[in-house]
Structure 1
Amino acid sequence: MPTLNWIGKEAVVNHHQQVPFHLLKDVPDLACGEPGNGNLIVQGDNLVALKALLPYYAGQVKCIYIDPPYNTGNEGWVYNDNVNSPVIREWLGKVVGKEGETLDRHDRWLCMMYPRLALLRQFLREDGIIFVNIGSDESGHLCVLLDEIFGPRNRIAVAAWETAYTANQTAKHISETTDFIYVYSLNFDRATVGKFNRSEEQLAKFKNSDNDWRGPWKSENLSAGKFYAAGQFEITGPTGKKFSPPPGRYWRCNETQFKAWLADGRITFGKNGTGRPMLKKYRDEILNGLTPTTWWKHEDFGTAKDASIELKSLFGGDAIFSTPKPTRLLERVLQIATQPGDLVLDSFAGSATTGQAVLQLNKQDSGGRRFILVEMEPKIARDITAERVRRVAQGYKNAKGEQVEGLGGGFRYCELGEPLFDESGKIRETVSFADLARHVYFTETGEPLPRGRVTKSPFLGECCGVGVYLLYNGILDDKSAQGGNVLTRSVLAQLPKFDGQKVIYCAGCLLGKDRLQAERILIRQTPYEIKVS
């Protein structure tokens, strides 16, 4: 398989594994509604934030949508589009080293994207899908990058979204009116893609001019270009007029099927009975929607201008975010990629179109979908990302002063806290049992601690026939100096029983080798044998 090489690749290709785990710090004052409903906004570098979220959400996300920087070279935007921000420059200096100072903008972009895409892959469910929105500057690089990380077989499609329908007359050569949306799966054979809902305009095309008892219909061509030997018969219309398939085409049914359709009133010859035979397609029989194509028209998906108008209506005044996406685009993505109850992730959240689209779709079908939004810039995260979702959830006055009803819902707001471990590799004193339990269970099993798991017990859970235990922070209510964190005979007797192989994380062990073998116990000493990245 062809792969892409660039300056700095060797330094970043495994960097996602070396990113240290950080804690998430609640900021209740910035939360909205009921924070326990599963929606989450995280402010912080999205690489570190994704690593912090893995112990909670690995393998649980059905749909990822990201709109990363297009890398156009324009540095005048609120959200730096040249991946040349101080945060990225500092990160490149640490990870890539001095070589990073000479990287061109494409090298920098690839260094920034690779570890983030590698982490995002770990969040997807087996049937999950990722959508990556990009412009022409990095489209070719992105395709090869996604092939390398997800595998070319897992590429579902590359859609072209019509972002504008009029030409930019100041374009030097050709006016660009499309973005590209790369659609990849974790597992092509298990990925699930639904159908687009039909718009009111599309439904209006169905009429009932002949008062058919089955309701509104529209005519569909009875012939097709694919060779079909049984589809070469002659049809006689109600006026006696004869019809054969057009040259090079064939009826898409055999004569027996045609007669059955005719007897059932499903064939029309036009208003006067003299037109070519057509098959009636009934509205009530096709409400399962439209099969997605790779051409996403502006009428159905909105435009960049629509997105700006939406933001102005929400916040009033001039545009406060230069690269928003229209809600219609994200609604259509969620229609085909999610079902009620699914989890959606956007790690380049920006103006929070994804969050609004989730709430709007939930309002329509009471779907209970949940979102995770990650935004790097503190001011954008607070004043745009969170504020937009707050307004659409609770209601707001638009730019015309009209009250807009809220969609309902809420979110929890978090910032990145300290790493789990200090510079010497020791567990920080501020780390709670619950925090360490999530980390230990995830790094031991590769799966997040099950939702709702009671973390007031040293038994964290079972995975693949192995029971995982953690002795830490006096979990056994032991008031001694060691706090019950050392495995002794008395401590072992207090542990919840598990009939199988056991892994016990503890500060030390006073049991002999024979006893450990008999009890089928594997000891991992804290903090030295806890993975720190």
Structure 2
Amino acid sequence: MSWINKDWSLIGTQGGGYEWVDRDDFRVTETRLLRDVGTVGEVHDDLKRAEDNLLITGDSGDVLRSLTRLPEFAEKYRGKVKLVYIDPPFNTGEAFVNYDDGLEHSVWLGLMRDRLTMLRDLLAEDGSMWVHLDDAEMAYCRVLLDEIFGRNAFVATVVWQKRTTRDNRAAFSASQDYIFVYSPAGPSRWKNVRNRLVDSGEFSNPDNDPRGPWRSVPMSAQAGHATANQFYDITTPTGAVHSPPPGRAWTYSRERFEELREQDMIYWPKKGDGKPRLKRFPSEDDGLVPFTLWLASEVGSNPEGKRESARLFGDGEAFDTPKPERLLQQIIHVASEPGDIVLDCFGGSGTTAAVAHKMGRRWVTAEQKSRTVRNFMRPRLEKVVNGEDTGGVTAAVGWEKGGGFRQLEVAPSMYERLGDRVLLAPWVEGDAFAEAACVQIPGFELDPSAELPFVGHKGRQRLAVVDGLVSEGTVQSIVEALNANESVLIVAKSYLREAASLLEKLSPGSRIKKAPQDLLNMKGRVLR
């Protein structure tokens, strides 16, 4: 699939829009720091530490780059996220109170391509990606997902009945959304790790079976997959004789059927005249394979989500288009287990994180607008942690309170443009300069315990960051601090030519690089 500026990347602008730039532009290649804002909650027996759950304020692209590149987070999340659910802007052209849902088509595709590519790097091999859209862009996104994940990764398209009332203003009244499900493992392998749905059918005990209540299920299977010993006649207790239904075979061989009869596992309907059915007890029920059609009566609707938001924040403050908690409950149940990581980088009102927390999953969620985080996400998640959210799926999943989360924000760029020049931003000094410089260099790991000017390492190469001028004396002291067989990469705001020459002489293979010029010229490659 092609679109205008496909070979370019998108960056957010201060006005809330987007700008096409070269993929090597520093605003694309830069890895932003994630700054701590605070922590909510404490350690809880049923959940991991509060730090295992992240609420991040910032553009989703910057957030995903940081999660995939910053060693602190990459080690924990890269290739380890079990479920990614995203509800991105549908690109309907409408403007809502809390977000703008109207992007030029190629801008929308570029934005999604960049984010889906980074999400793929975070997803576990047996994890799954769920992308929620409506008619506006869903056909194009399906092709985009095929391009990024491969067509073999496609699992299903879930159709969700989002409303049950009719909109008489439209040519057709849209009642459904689409959720694409992809997995790197492919459908045949992913089905072995996904969960089935709880079968809520009724159990009873009409024959006073000492094993307790049961229900019956058919005992026939498709004939095309059957063996010869699955075709035979069965005589009921009343003497009626039954062959398998047309085009079908009995589920079990005659020998196995007789064993089940001896174990009182066969139910004979119609007072003993009917075809045999198998007794199924609750402990033996392995659940139902999910349908691709999810009805509002089963997983909720948009109006239900709106009512949940109104209960949390009041009618006048309700979020515009929140998804119902029951919808996320079903997705999270099917695609993950307690303790798994669930990620949503278009956090909105925080439904994904709230339901994941209640269900005992670890979670990461991000939202670009600080107002939305301040007014909706943090208050909502605080209510969940404190046991003050009694609505949604709280009672159904048995949630009370506990756990917590760590709140972060994407740091501003370490660079600023002045005409045709790119300079270091004023805040990039001291420890901030050391940390920001280190994370721009692929392969280097930040070492908080190191003594300045050393800040990181990569194998036997150490990283020293100098907030100022590197002189010959600076080089002498740095080299003297190296261990045997170690080299050093020095990043400084300036250096003397004589200092660079001395470093080459004292420690062959070591280099000095100047910030920001040399960092900008990296373009994602290791400095040499």
TM range (shorter): 0.7 to 0.9
Q: In structure 1, how many angstroms separate the alpha carbons of the residues matched to 2:501 and 2:41?
A: 47
Residues 63, 33 of structure 1: CA spacing in aligned structure 2 closer, same or farther, 3 A cutoff?
same
> 1:375 pairs with 362, 367, 373, which one?
367
Name the structure 2 match of 1:410: 404
Name the structure 2 match of 1:280: 279
- Is 1:195 matched up with 2:162? no
> 2:349 pairs with 344, 347, 351, which one?
351
Letter of the aligned partner of 1:217 in structure 2? W
Give the aligned length. 474
Name the structure 1 match of 2:325: 327
- Is 1:46 matched up with 2:39? no
Letter of the aligned partner of 1:133 in structure 2? H
- Is 1:391 matched up with 2:405? no
> 2:40 pairs with 24, 32, 41, which one?
32
Shift of 1:159: 1.3
- Is 1:268 matched up with 2:261? no
Q: In structure 1, how many angstroms separate the alpha carbons of the residues matched to 2:327 and 2:437?
A: 36
Q: In structure 1, how many angstroms separate the alpha carbons of the residues matched to 2:505 and 2:404?
A: 52
Alignment of 1:171-320 (within 5 A): 172-188=170-186, 193-198=193-198, 202-227=199-224, 228=226, 229-270=228-269, 272-286=271-285, 288-318=286-316, 320=318
**Residue-by-residue CA offset, 1:457-515 (whole Å, 9 max, x unaligned):** 648466xxx445321259xxxxx975999665x64564467x8x977455557455796
SS at 2:7 equivalent: helix
Q: In structure 1, how many angstroms separate the alpha carbons of the residues matched to 2:456 and 2:279?
A: 60
> 1:420 pairs with 396, 404, 414, which one?
414
Residues 256, 46 of structure 1: CA spacing in aligned structure 2 closer, same or farther, 3 A cutoff?
same
Shift of 1:145: 1.0
> 2:87 pairs with 47, 57, 67, which one?
67
> 1:336 pairs with 334, 337, 340, which one?
334
Residues 336, 60 of structure 1: CA spacing in aligned structure 2 closer, same or farther, 3 A cutoff?
same
SS at 1:292 equivalent: coil
More strand by share: 2
Letter of the aligned partner of 1:320 in structure 2? A
SS at 2:342 equivalent: strand
TM-score under structure 2 normalisation?
A: 0.78
Shift of 1:46: 2.0
Q: In structure 2, how many angstroms separate the alpha carbons of the residues matched to 1:427 and 1:411?
A: 30
Structure 1 window deviating more from structure 2 (223-232 vs 237-246): it is: 223-232
Letter of the aligned partner of 2:462 in structure 1? Y
Residues 429, 76 of structure 1: CA spacing in aligned structure 2 closer, same or farther, 3 A cutoff?
closer
Q: Does the 8 Å CA contact 1:50/1:119 hold for their aligned counterparts?
A: yes
Q: Does the 8 Å CA contact 1:471/1:486 hold for their aligned counterparts?
A: no
Q: In structure 1, how many angstroms separate the alpha carbons of the residues matched to 2:167 and 2:148?
A: 39
Q: In structure 2, how many angstroms separate the alpha carbons of the residues matched to 1:386 and 1:319?
A: 14
Listed as ranges, the gaps of 5+ residues in structure 1 are 84-104, 363-368, 475-479
Residues 514, 306 of structure 1: CA spacing in aligned structure 2 closer, same or farther, 3 A cutoff?
same
Q: Does the 8 Å CA contact 1:16/1:118 hold for their aligned counterparts?
A: no
Structure 1 window deviating more from structure 2 (204-213 vs 273-282): it is: 204-213
Residues 21, 273 of structure 1: CA spacing in aligned structure 2 closer, same or farther, 3 A cutoff?
same
Q: In structure 2, how many angstroms separate the alpha carbons of the residues matched to 1:524 and 1:371?
A: 40
Q: In structure 1, how many angstroms separate the alpha carbons of the residues matched to 2:93 and 2:475?
A: 58
Letter of the aligned partner of 1:51 in structure 2? R
Residues 422, 207 of structure 1: CA spacing in aligned structure 2 closer, same or farther, 3 A cutoff?
same
SS at 1:216 equivalent: coil
Alignment of 1:160-179 (within 5 A): 160-164=159-163, 166-170=164-168, 172-179=170-177
Residues 10, 511 of structure 1: CA spacing in aligned structure 2 closer, same or farther, 3 A cutoff?
closer
Residues 38, 349 of structure 1: CA spacing in aligned structure 2 closer, same or farther, 3 A cutoff?
same
Q: In structure 2, how many angstroms separate the alpha carbons of the residues matched to 1:392 and 1:72?
A: 31
Q: Does the 8 Å CA contact 1:421/1:532 hold for their aligned counterparts?
A: no
- Is 1:525 matched up with 2:513? yes
Q: Does the 8 Å CA contact 1:224/1:249 hold for their aligned counterparts?
A: yes
Q: Does the 8 Å CA contact 1:71/1:81 hold for their aligned counterparts?
A: yes
Name the structure 2 match of 1:155: 154
Q: Does the 8 Å CA contact 1:314/1:396 hold for their aligned counterparts?
A: no
Shift of 1:141: 0.7
Letter of the aligned partner of 2:239 in structure 1? G
SS at 1:129 equivalent: strand
Letter of the aligned partner of 1:210 in structure 2? D
Residues 524, 377 of structure 1: CA spacing in aligned structure 2 closer, same or farther, 3 A cutoff?
same
Residues 492, 376 of structure 1: CA spacing in aligned structure 2 closer, same or farther, 3 A cutoff?
same
Q: In structure 2, how many angstroms separate the alpha carbons of the residues matched to 1:190 and 1:454?
A: 41
Q: In structure 2, how many angstroms separate the alpha carbons of the residues matched to 1:509 and 1:406?
A: 65
Letter of the aligned partner of 2:262 in structure 1? A
**Residue-by-residue CA offset, 1:161-203 (whole Å, 9 max, x unaligned):** 2223x341515443322211111224438757421441xxx44
SS at 1:260 equivalent: helix
Letter of the aligned partner of 2:340 in structure 1? D
Name the structure 2 match of 1:96: none
Shift of 1:132: 0.7
SS at 2:272 equivalent: coil
Shift of 1:383: 0.2
Q: In structure 2, how many angstroms separate the alpha carbons of the residues matched to 1:145 and 1:485?
A: 55
Residues 382, 406 of structure 1: CA spacing in aligned structure 2 closer, same or farther, 3 A cutoff?
farther
Name the structure 1 match of 2:464: 471
Residues 468, 255 of structure 1: CA spacing in aligned structure 2 closer, same or farther, 3 A cutoff?
farther
Shift of 1:427: 8.1
Q: In structure 2, how many angstroms separate the alpha carbons of the residues matched to 1:209 and 1:312?
A: 45
Q: In structure 1, how many angstroms separate the alpha carbons of the residues matched to 2:80 and 2:294?
A: 28
Percent identity, aligned pairs only, is 31
Residues 473, 63 of structure 1: CA spacing in aligned structure 2 closer, same or farther, 3 A cutoff?
farther
